[in-house]
Amino acid sequence: MTFDKFDLDKRLMKGIAAMGYERPTPIQDATIPLALKGRDLIGSAQTGTGKTAAFGLPILQRLLEGRRGTFRALILSPTRELAVQIDQSLKSYAKHTKLQVLAIYGGVSYGPQEERLKQGVDVIVATPGRLLDHIQRGRIKFKTLETLVLDEADRMLDMGFLPDINRILSYLPSERQTMMFSATMPSEIQALAGKMLLNPEHVQVGLRSSAAVGITHAVYPVSAHLKADLLLAILRETQSPSVLVFTRTKRRADRVEKLLAKSGKKIAVIHGDRTQKQRTAALDGFKQGKYQVLVATDIAARGLDVEAITHVINFDVPGTPEDYVHRIGRTARMAALGDAFTLVSPEEEMLMREVEQHLGHALPRVALRDFKYDTPAPERSIGLQKASVNTPTVKKSFFSPKRPKLPRKK
Ligand code: AMP
């Protein structure tokens, strides 16, 4: 089946064709007809499944049918990077129309965003904080708003955006279409949905909270003090042109960057303490192949769409199983193949078991050939040994009795 069945405006069809989309993905199949009818919906889909077009195309279609140059659709995103990505996708779909899409996010000056707002826009893609700033400065009014999308809702809540979201909701007209997307559906998300949505349709693609398909997972048990050497050895072995390495903290991301500089590979880093300019340069450089390795904290774990990432390496086990799903969702996008490696120190085994319970099965333990796993720790620490695994981000809900049991080891 092609996109023809949705009866979209031919200008949008031209945009889709130029993106190389031939057939709708399952989430698009399920979402587009409902969203075109103006239904509220809650979508739970694996990462990289084509969510942006699933909500973006119906929004653009409905905008084409009404008044132009009036602010009628708002998309909220947890991170600047995801906001930019959604903005770029919508602009591509709408390339042959006169619809104006604007991304609003922090870390850059207000001037150009205010200028564009004055000129009139149809769609705003925003991060909550900067949107509230513009609201307070009186630059944005919501009288004409018709559609709200909350993307990566679970991430928004994890990042502490709930008060901001509630404030934004208080400005919006109650009569509107609302769509909420979340890769995972913890109870907080369901509560938010109950408040925001009216008779929503549920669209679920793939198993709830499941990891993207096409990924080979492997766990490398290793002493904490040898993680850095093992990472270097794995990078040498895989020779992948595009590897995303995750660390649990910003400091560890900076340290891993320094350490990898020895490998002769081109490395970039992305985390919350880098300026927006640095973050954009790192991400663009990685997308264009200028950097072979991007070291990131979880800020980069959700939503980022970089084609052809072949390996995700968790230098540290993520603090929550949901973060594992999101991190590895950066590889194997659109059902390509990818590898997800996790370096696990004995102190992190408990967190790893949480991840396995969440996935419903144990992951294979592997060892790199010829790597000297018994090298003793040096006298002085260089600071990368200790990953504090007792981070408070491990939430009680992860011990929910509903979680599948880990198969017993034979
Ligand atoms: P998303 O989940 O929206 O971030 O999309 C993931 C990737 O899939 C992006 O590179 C999209 O451009 C691409 N994509 C989305 N829909 C389709 C489709 N129907 N056919 C091919 N690629 C698609």
Ligand 1 pocket test target in 4, 16, 25 with most atoms within 8 Å of CB:
25
* Token output for 150: 């909350």
Please report the pLDDT score of residue 236 as a whole number.
Answer: 84
Which domains are seen in the chain, by residue range? 3-205 (3.40.50.300), 215-359 (3.40.50.300)
Q: Which range among 14-18, 167-171, 300-304 shows the weakest confidence by mean pLDDT? A: 300-304
Q: Which range among 274-288, 291-305, 383-397 shows the weakest confidence by mean pLDDT? A: 383-397
Please tell me the residue having the least CA distance from ligand 1 atom 22.
21
pLDDT band, very low/low/confident/very high, at 288 (cuts 50, 70, 90): confident
**Contact (CB, 8 A) for 252 and 319:** no
The H or E element containing residue 81 is helix 80-93
Q: Is 15 in the pocket of ligand 1 (CB under 6 A)?
A: no
> Is the per-residue pLDDT at 382 higher than 50?
no
| Exposure letters 334-366 (e unless 16+ CB within 10 A, then b) | eebebbbbbbbbebbeebbebbbbbbeebbeee
Ligand 1 pocket test target in 12, 28, 305 with most atoms within 8 Å of CB:
305
> Is the per-residue pLDDT at 408 higher than 50?
no
* Token output for 139: 């630059």
CA atoms of 152 and 328, how far apart (whole Å): 15
Q: Which range among 120-129, 170-179, 325-334, 376-385 shows the weakest confidence by mean pLDDT? A: 376-385
Q: Is 24 in the pocket of ligand 1 (CB under 6 A)?
A: yes
pLDDT band, very low/low/confident/very high, at 310 (cuts 50, 70, 90): confident
CA atoms of 307 and 43, how far apart (whole Å): 23
Atom of ligand 1 nearest to the CA of 22: 20
What lies within 8 Å, CB to CB, of 16 at 6+ separation is 3, 8, 53, 57, 93
Distance 23 CA to ligand 1 centre (A): 10
CA atoms of 350 and 356, how far apart (whole Å): 10
* Token output for 245: 């390495």
Compute the CA torsion angle 133, 306, 264, 226 (nearest 10 deg): 80
Higher pLDDT, 307 or 12: 12
Compute the CA torsion angle 93, 152, 364, 337 (nearest 10 deg): 0
Atom of ligand 1 nearest to the CA of 49: 2
CA atoms of 298 and 370, how far apart (whole Å): 31
* Token output for 80: 């600047």
Q: Is 200 in the pocket of ligand 1 (CB under 6 A)?
A: no
Q: Is 18 in the pocket of ligand 1 (CB under 6 A)?
A: no
Please report the pLDDT score of residue 409 as a whole number.
Answer: 40
* For residues 7-16, average pLDDT: 96
Distance 234 CA to ligand 1 centre (A): 30
Distance 49 CA to ligand 1 centre (A): 6
Please report the pLDDT score of residue 338 as a whole number.
Answer: 63
SS3 call for 106: coil
CA atoms of 14 and 215, how far apart (whole Å): 32
Distance 48 CA to ligand 1 centre (A): 7
Please report the pLDDT score of residue 314 as a whole number.
Answer: 94
> Is the per-residue pLDDT at 8 higher than 90?
yes
CA atoms of 242 and 295, how far apart (whole Å): 11
Taking only the tens place, the pLDDT of each residue in 336-377 is 456 789 999 999 999 999 998 888 888 888 888 788 888 888
Ligand 1 pocket test target in 2, 52, 85, 151 with most atoms within 8 Å of CB:
52
Distance 17 CA to ligand 1 centre (A): 12
> Is the per-residue pLDDT at 400 higher than 50?
no
Q: Is 333 in the pocket of ligand 1 (CB under 6 A)?
A: yes
The whole-angstrom distance between residue 126's C-alpha and the CA centroid of its chain comes to 15
Ligand 1 pocket test target in 1, 13, 16, 21 with most atoms within 8 Å of CB:
21
**Contact (CB, 8 A) for 325 and 303:** no
Residues in the chain: 410
Q: Is 51 in the pocket of ligand 1 (CB under 6 A)?
A: yes
What lies within 8 Å, CB to CB, of 277 at 6+ separation is none
Taking only the tens place, the pLDDT of each residue in 90-131 is 999 999 999 999 999 998 999 999 999 999 999 999 999 999
pLDDT band, very low/low/confident/very high, at 306 (cuts 50, 70, 90): low
Please tell me the residue having the least CA distance from ligand 1 atom 13.
50
Tell me which DSSP letter residue 130 carries.
Answer: H
Q: Is 343 in the pocket of ligand 1 (CB under 6 A)?
A: no
Please report the pLDDT score of residue 166 as a whole number.
Answer: 94
Please report the pLDDT score of residue 245 as a whole number.
Answer: 93
Region of 89 on the Ramachandran plot (φ > 0 left; ψ -120 to 50 alpha; else beta): alpha
Atom of ligand 1 nearest to the CA of 89: 12
**Contact (CB, 8 A) for 246 and 392:** no
Please tell me the residue having the least CA distance from ligand 1 atom 16.
50
Please tell me the residue having the least CA distance from ligand 1 atom 14.
50
Taking all residues of the chain, what is their mean pLDDT, rounded to a whole number?
A: 84
Please report the pLDDT score of residue 379 as a whole number.
Answer: 67
Long-range contacts of 191-194 (CB under 8 A, 24+ apart): 192/150, 192/153, 192/157, 192/162, 192/165, 193/42, 193/153
Which one of 111-125, 184-198, 283-297, 306-320 scores highest in mean pLDDT?
111-125
